[in-house]
Structures are given as C-alpha cells and as structure tokens.
Amino acid sequence: MRVLESEFAQSFIRLADDGWQLRFHERNGGNISYRIPNEEIETVREDLDFSGEWQEIGTSVPNLGGEFFMVTGSGKYFSDIKRIPEETCCIVEVDEKGTEYRIVWGLTKGGRPTSELPSHLMNHEVKKLASGGKSRVLYHCHPANVIAMTFVLPLEDKVFTRALWESMTECPVVFPAGVGVIPWMVCGGRDIAVASAEKMKEYDVLIWAHHGIFCIGEDFESTFGLAHTVEKSAEVYVKVRSMGMPVLQTIEKQNFLDLAKAFALDNLKKEFLD
C-alpha cells in the first residue's frame, strides 16, 4: 500500500488540518510525530526508500532503536499539509543505537524533519516506557490563550493546573494528572528536550512558556482532544480575567473531589487541590 493510502497517514494529516483550522499553527508553528507500530509499517514497506543518508538526531534514544516515525517537516506550513503531505511530512527510521535517523519517505522536494525532533523522540521514549508502549502521538502547537496565560501567572505546575481545572468542569477528567510547565527555553534544542522529557514522566501535557502546548497520547483523536481541551479552558480563563468584574464563584475543592468520585479519577493529583 502507498503511505498516503494508510489509515495512520490519513489520521496524521487530519490532525494537522484540525489544528490548522483552529488557528493553532501560524506558518510552520508546531509539529507532530507518530510512533508507527511494526504491523502498520509493514503495510507500507513497498513505498519506503532505504537509500537515504543516516543523520545525527542530536540526542540519544536507545529505547527507540529500529522504530519508525511519521513527522512533520521543519519549516513546512501547516496550511499545506492536507494539500501536499508528501512534500511537508516524512517517515524516519531510527537506527539500532538510537542516535541517528534517515528519511525513508516524504519531503519529496527536500527538507528535514521538525527541528523539535530531539524533544519528540526523547518524550516518546519516556512515554513508551511509562505506558507499556501505548503512547504513540506527540503533538506540539501554538494556541494563543495558553501562551497568553504564561505572561500573567507564576510558571508553576500547580498554579496552571488549578487555573485550567477551574475554568472548565471536565478538565480534571481529561487531564487528571494536571499540566507541567516549562520556563522559556530556546526552541528546537536538546535542553528543552531534556527538561520536557523529565516532566513528561509525571504529565501527558506540558506548557512551554511563551511558546505553546506539547502533549502526548495513545491515538490521534485523544491527543488532539487533550490540546484542544487545554486551549479551550485557557480561553475561558483569559475571558474571565478580561471581563473586569470580580470572580464571584468557581469550582471548589469539594467539587473536584465529587468529580473524582463520580468519574473514578484514581489518578487525580489531589495535592494540587490545597
């Protein structure tokens, strides 16, 4: 089968386009990666080209040795992904040591995988180990309201988690572990990859200050849903703060505890309620 006929490529393209439609991706802002299961890579193997040069990843991911990833290309516009996926995206193979990659499909007019490849791969590695292999989709976007929040609130996990949980009732159901916050860092480098991978041990969604959301999940729909929920809640937060009226009521500690019981949220981070 051709790569673009596969269900995973179609889902990948749809995620990119959903994000574009919701204005989460100005220009080339944001990136996506999908850790492709062996059985899915076998279905498209005839469409892959293994003659490309091996290149340095810039970090080491030994637990991803031999794996294949579909990723967006660096500098490619999200508005183009649906129209010309083979020019804007690629599939990369990681070598057995986990230090190099080569492009086996896509980027037909040249280019390289996202500059955030070190962050994507290091976080995939952490989550692959923590989830028993279930985590597969990593999504980075630049939604305006989450970014706005990082200018007015202390950059602390608890502060952001509470602000987002309180802004929309179902947030604790969608991200019971809360959100991790990473201070401003240079994008695309190994430092932000290391800092994010450390926080990802505890969370599924990170907020990069003055930059955006970085989140991971088991499938395309739930990963996009996670970012969408965080941004929607941030939008409510920004609207409430912008109304110029005092907050008369909010969701209280007991409400969260009731929610945890009703939805059997065993992993709700209760220490963030005090």
* Calpha distance 237→71 (Å, rounded): 32
Query: What is the closest distance, in whole angstroms, from the C-beta atom of residue 188 to ligand 13P in the complex?
Result: 6
Nearer to ligand 13P, 32 or 273 (CB): 32
Strands (E) located in 95-218 = 100-106, 137-141, 180-182, 205-208, 212-217
Q: Are 154 and 179 in contact (CB under 8 A)?
A: no
**Local structure of residue 177 (DSSP, 8 states):** T
Residue with smaller CB distance to ligand 13P, 119 or 229: 119
Query: In the bound complex, what is the minimum distance in angstroms from residue 170's beta carbon to ligand 13P?
Result: 28
- We find the least distance from the C-beta atom of residue 79 to ligand 13P, in angstroms, to be 13
Rounded Cα–Cα distance for residues 233 and 230 (Å): 5
Q: Tokens in use for 175? A: 């991200």
Q: Which is nearer to ligand 13P, 186 or 245 (CB)?
A: 186
Q: Closest distance between ligand 13P and the C-beta of residue 266, in Å?
A: 34
- Catalytic residue check, 116: yes
Asked if 116 and 32 count as a contact pair (C-beta separation under 8 A), the reply is no
Instruction: Between 29 and 58, name the residue whose CB sits nearer to ligand 13P.
Output: 29
Task: Tell me the Ramachandran region of residue 167: left when phi exceeds 0, alpha when psi lies from -120 to 50, beta otherwise.
Answer: alpha
Q: Whole-number minimum distance, CB 28 to ligand 13P, in Å? A: 4
* Active-site choice (67, 93, 116, 166): 116
Q: Is 97 in contact with 67 (CB distance < 8 Å)?
A: no
Q: Which residues bind ligand 13P (CB under 6 A)?
A: 28-31, 72, 74-75, 114-116, 140, 187-188
The residue (of 11 and 74) whose beta carbon lies closer to ligand 13P is 74
Q: Which among 255, 270, 259 has a CA at the least distance from the CA of 161?
A: 270
Rounded Cα–Cα distance for residues 3 and 41 (Å): 9
8 Å CB contact between 54 and 39: no
Active site residues: 116
